[in-house]
Structure 1
């Protein structure tokens, strides 16, 4: 974890939520309304930290999060474009009665979905890997007192986190879109 208080951590959110729950329960059991209220507040803080840790915004070709900005795998952008172009061909083919154009559009749309999915999986795997390497490297550099390397590894962790969150956001949106009637 970074000492930077603006860098939200999922682990810290879990710790704060659990600590708050325990403090709330103990306060309730011993009749201490102050401890109970403080525990509830800590739990709410943990939930807010969790939400902030998972927040990401998509831009064309990139993801922005509290940890930074990460460029998307080129297959994600190209795949999205192929889906759009394929859908347009399908529409025009149906409009003018061209089964060939309609079928070509359908195939391009399908290929674009597959291409985008490959890019999402690449970004997800790369992000998880960079987060892990960054966390371990930062911890080791911190133990050895190498602050410059620690900062480099923390940057790698943060970039991986943003990349992972961007892929997760796209995958979640696509799953939600499939659930819509």
Structure 2
């Protein structure tokens, strides 16, 4: 599916996929009375939801790191008068804020 899947990193896309497929299996199992299908679906849905939450937490942490590193560069650039470093730091800080917002 994605690079995250091949490297065993949690993926929001894969997590959503498994949660959706699991829900469908559980619904079909419940409707047909096939308890093993229902159970497998519930397990797949739970695993998918857990993977999504793990990926979300990782992306939030990455956003936090970007935000802090950007702030340090921005402040250092301002103190030393290096406008380029200050601008790059500001951009990285904003990227981190956006990533945190998307994963909170």
1:120-150, Cα deviation, whole Å (9 max, x unpaired): 1101111111111111111101211221121
RMSD (CA atoms): 1.5
Task: Provide structure 1 residue ranges, at least 5 long, that are not aligned to the other structure.
Answer: 1-72, 169-181
State the distance in 2 between where 1:125 and 1:142 align.
26
Q: What TM-score results when the alignment is normalised by the length of structure 1?
A: 0.50
Q: What TM-score results when the alignment is normalised by the length of structure 2?
A: 0.85
Contact map agreement 2:10 2:51 (CA 8 A) in 1: no
Query: Of 77, 99, 102, which aligns to 2:35?
Result: 99
Give aligned pairs, total: 96
Query: Of 124, 132, 154, which aligns to 2:60?
Result: 124
For residue 18 of structure 2, what is the aligned residue in structure 1?
82
4+ residue segments displaced more than 2 Å: none
CA gap 1:74/1:151 in 2 versus in 1, 3 angstroms? farther
Shift of 1:74: 6.3
Query: Of 112, 133, 137, which aligns to 2:73?
Result: 137
Query: Of 111, 117, 120, which aligns to 2:47?
Result: 111
State the distance in 2 between where 1:157 and 1:99 align.
50
State the distance in 2 between where 1:153 and 1:135 align.
6
State the distance in 1 between where 2:65 and 2:24 align.
37
Q: Which protein is bigger by CA-based radius of gyration?
A: 1
Higher strand share: 1
Contact map agreement 2:25 2:37 (CA 8 A) in 1: yes
1:137-171, Cα deviation, whole Å (9 max, x unpaired): 11101211221121111111111101101111xxx
State the distance in 1 between where 2:53 and 2:10 align.
11
